[in-house]
Structure formats: C-alpha cells, structure tokens
Structure 1
Amino acid sequence: MRVLAAMSGGVDSAVAAARAVEAGHDVTGVHLALSKNPQSFRSGARGCCSREDAHDARRAADVLGIDFYVWDLSDRFAADVVDDFVAEYAAGHTPNPCLRCNEKIKFSAVLDRAVALGFDAVCTGHYARLVRPDPDEPGRVELHRAVDAAKDQSYVLGVLRPDQLARAMFPLGDTVKTDVRAEAARRGLAVAEKPDSHDICFIPDGDTQGFLDARLGTRPGTIVDADGTVLGSHDGSHHYTVGQRRGLRLGVPADDGRPRYVLDISPVTNTVTVGPRESLHRQEIHADRPVWTTGARSGAWRGAVQVRAHGEPVPATVEIEDGRLRAVTDEPLTGVAPGQAVVCYDGTAVVASATIVPTR
C-alpha cells in the first residue's frame, strides 16, 4: 500500500513510520506545519510543531530512506482547533484540542489530501489498536484500547468515523512505550530519548490563562455559592473549568472548612458558582453530536464511558434520545464539564463519542 506517515518529530511517529516501511509499504513522510510563527526550539516537553521538531522528523525520514515533505496546515489548524478552543472557553466549556485536531486535521484535512494524492492510508504514532473482527469483511474496522494502558489514546481518537478508521494505521497499539524507545535506538533514530510532548501544543509556555486573556480580554465578575452569596471576584469566567479547586482566591471560607470547587460557569452573567465536591457528582450525562466508530446502535445498551483522556472508564447504560446521547453511570462521576467528550466503550472497543452539554 501507499502510506502517508504523519511525522511530528517525536519518537512515536518515527517508529510508527519505520514499522510501516518494514511491513513493505511504500511510505512517504509528512510533517504538519501547524503554526504561522513556530518557535525554533521546544521548551523541554512543552508544545510541539517547532522548527526543531520539523528537523527531527526530516532526519528520521532520512534514516528510514523515505521521501519527506512539510505540509502547511496552519490556517486550517487556526480555524478548526485554536479558534474552536477559544470559543469553547468563552462559552464556559472545557474543550479538548487534541481530540479536535484528530477530528479536523489529521483524519480530515490530512486524510482527505492523502486520498486525493493516491495514498491508501495515513499512519500515525497514536497508541491504539485497529481490529478487523471478520475476515469476510476486511473493510470493517474496530478501534480498541492500546496494550499500554498508560499511553492509550483511544479516547482522543473516538471522534473518527468507520470510513476514516478503514484508512488509518496505528502500528504502536500493541507496544509499550519503553519498547518503542528501545526500538528507536536500535534503528538509529536520534529521537529515541526525546521527551514526550505535554500540555497544549499551541501554548508552548503552558500559560493557558494568558493565552485566553490575549484573545478574550479580561472581564471582572463574581464568584458565588449555590445560594448566590458573593464569595470573591475574578477577571474572566474563561479562567475556570468545572471541577477546578485551585486558584479560586475566595475571601470567605466555607462554614465547614472544606475546599470548594467550580460547579458552574455562566458567561452570560460572567458568574462562577462554587460549592462542595459532592455537588460535582453526576450520574447522568447528556451529549450532542454523537459519532459512531462502528455504526450506530439503537435502544439502550450496556458498556462503559470515559470523560477524560486519562480518566477511568465507568460502567454505564447508554442510549440515544432525540439524536442526543444519554449515559447513566453505575457510580457518580466528578467534574463532568460541558465541552468535554464522553467516549463509550464495549470492552476495549470504542463504540461512540459525543460532546457533553450542560445538565443539572
């Protein structure tokens, strides 16, 4: 097959590309330029998409003996990921930009262009497994959790449709991270010990609040309890997420002395509501825009749901009501924030994902 290997400049994508070459595919490497003004170097494990990353990807491609290109997708990334991130915070939501990048960039913009250029699949270094359960249906693909639970990325891939999964390759799904680094060293890839990227790639300094302030400005408002009693003030409701405990700077301590958490964010009134941890507990989740990875299901079914990239799955009953996904969990979840994705599993297989909406 003709395979386009997305190479970020990190160890995972380099080894994934190497495995695609070793499997006998005709592989071409591509680095995605996602920033109009990339930094020259990364700050340790923060960010990605720097000039250093592009050079590292090119050097890995040279070692593998494959053609290599840089695709400028900065405009698309800014519109579909960065602007969406800012708009979601302005609406009082908590977005996941990595999930949005997979949906809009890597498996939409990149895959669409790859197919138009005659490639059969896009290969990435994501930790997830693709399973073809029926040999008589080679086009049917299931997305499963990776063997390395600590690195599993099936959650952020839960937005992919069956047709996209059919043209995806995740060669690292059956491997633990330590073995990937050892393999990179054996193959002579200089990125073998390169730190993993953390935090949000387009905020390399890690200052999310400063990033949002530069785009949304500051707007003083109040922090209140569930009864509306003013407890403090803030410079913008976009500084907060549901479930947040630190940085509230409340002037009035709780009567019982226990810490308080963000329960609700209202951008319209610019009010942040706080309260005790137990007020965060939710057993019923409603979510819009469901995406089915293996085809839609009807009626109620038993599975598990996960609401954070590295959260624990919780057993639940899931169904679709009037086009909206509804999940009732067996035990309460804490800090379920609008804008997050809820990803539904059947065992290790991803079934669907949807975007959580405000509920009471």
Structure 2
Amino acid sequence: MLHFRTQGCNGSAVKYSPFFDNRLAISSSANYGLVGNGRLWILELTPNGIQPMKDFTTQDCLYDLAWSELHENQVLTASGDGSIKLFDCTANDFPIQNWKEHGREVFSVNWNLVTKDRFCSSSWDGTVRVWSPHRQQSLLTLPTHSCTYSAAFSPHSPDLISCVSSDSYVRLFDLRTPASASNHLVAQIPIHAAPTVPAIPGQPGIIPPAAPPAEALTHDWNKYRSTVLATAGVDRAIRTFDIRAPQQGPLATMIGHEYAVRKLAWSPHLSDVLLSASYDMTCRVWTDQSNIGLGNGNMDLMRSGPAGPSVGMELGRMGRHSEFVTGVDWCLFGNEGWCASVGWDENLYVWDVRGVMS
C-alpha cells in the first residue's frame, strides 16, 4: 500500500490519468471544504513512492475533478465559487481556462468518453450544464430543480447524461430528443420508491414498502452493461438500476456502510464489481452478483421479482483512513484491482483491492 500526505488539505476526489498508468490527480480543500482555499495535486507513482509533480492553489474549495480526454496534461476542477477551471500540468500556476455560469457550488465534473470535446458539470443551483473546452459559454443547461451532487455522461453513448440529487431521483437526459418543455428529460427514477411487483396468478399482490427518501450523493455507470447504473447516498445503501425498466425498482441492493456513501466507482475490469467510499471511514468492494451462474452481462438473473431486488455482497474493506473517505478510483492499467482513495484525513492511499478481499 502506497501513501501520500496532502499536507494542510482535505481530499475531496481522486482520479487516475487515462493516459499514464503512474499519474494521479487529487482535488482538495482547506478546512474540510467549508471555507478557504483549494488545491489541485498532480502526483506520480515512482520506484521511490508517490511524488508530487505539480500543484495548483485556488481561491475557493475544490470538490471534484476530471482528466481531459483530449489532452494528456489537462485537468478540470469543480469549485465552491461556482466556477470550473482547466489546468495544464505543463503551464504555470494558473488555470488556462475558466468558466463561471453556475449560481452556487459546482459539485461534480465529468468528461464525455465518447464525444471527447464535451464535458458536463452539476451544481447546488439545481442545474446540469454541458460544455465544450473550445467555448467560453455553456452549450446547454438541464434543470433538475434540486441540489445536484453528481452528473455523468454514459460511457456507452455520447448523448446520455445521468444525475442524482437531493430529492432522491436519478434523472436521465437524452440530448438527441427535442428540447421542448422537458429539456431532454427522458426518465426520472425515484431511488427510494417501492418497485412495481406484478401479482402472481392465484395469489394476492405484494407491494413492498418504500424506503424513506434520502439525498443521493453519488452514482456511476457500469462499464460493461450499458443500461445499468449504481446510486448511493445518505441512507447508506447502494442500489443498482436498469434504465430500461425504471418502474421495476432496484436490480440489486448492497447494505453494510454505517454512514453515508460519498463515492461509487464501477470496476473497469469486471462487470459485477464496484468500489464505495463512505463517511464511516472505509472503502468497500462489492459484487452485485450479476455474474453468478449465467455469466457477465446477463440481466435476467438481476431482475427483481416478488421477493424484491437481489442482494449484493461485500467482498472486503479497507479501513486505513481516519476520517471521512470522499473519493475512490480504479487504475485503468495493469492487473485488475489497483485503486486509490482520499479522505478528510489528508491522506491518499494506493492499494490493491485483492489484498482486502476475503
């Protein structure tokens, strides 16, 4: 397990470079992101451990980041002053671009993996915005009317955007549809609603109770199953959904965290495995058990029935952090299992998931 101290800065997110197997970026803030400066760290994994390559100080807290899919040295940051900044590792200590249209804190940024000249952002102002790095103004504004903690392009489609927000909904926007009055909104999935359960012939229908709504803080698209995404938040439960059947309710539910789940990341190597980072100071690795018996990618096994959603299983946990864990990401290169995590304890850990699995 490798370690690096973000001295004086509490981590908020960590991302591996899509271009270099030994490069990481961390967004962080002074005073736990409540007030004060932010700092973007660019780090390299070397034979002598983790070494800082570059860092940039900002006037306000940084809550998230995303590597550019166009330029290997550029990183986006989401700031507490409502701005989005683009930094270049080869430039001096200032952003090469700055966008500011959001009215409140920007809490997430995400780069389009398919059409690589687009990225999106979400904010506490109740909007998701779509941007081009080549334009100063946003291309599109998608209203959610609720504090939006996480937004992401589908890794399988350049036109699908999902987001989760404080009102406990997953929203799906399809930019191919006419804007009209719906602003490209094509689905709105209540995360905590009871699933629609068809009655069994000869038996009374059973409607399981709905969970009380709670803020959804994070979500992620499955890298192999194009219609599956996972959500999590304040109620501590991780749920997976199939966007083809929003009324069906969760495909799988994973329960075990003791406090809110702050970050989710599906594995880039295995279709059934995901990582979570939580305010209970642990990172945990899970399987939604979708590959049992029928092989990866077969959704029939995962469909909810009268008994409700399938139950995922915790495979292991990493408990080295001593404060809230706020970010986790998988390494895209090499042997499957390497990941990185950051937290409010000013620590980055690079570790092998296989080392914590039971």
Higher relative contact order (CA 8 A, sep 6+): 1
- Give the strand-richer structure, 1 or 2: 2
TM-score, shorter chain, exceeding 0.5: no
TM-score range for the pair, normalised by the shorter chain length: under 0.3
The TM-score normalised by the length of structure 1 is 0.27
The TM-score normalised by the length of structure 2 is 0.27
State which structure, 1 or 2, has the greater radius of gyration over its C-alpha atoms.
1
- Give the helix-richer structure, 1 or 2: 1
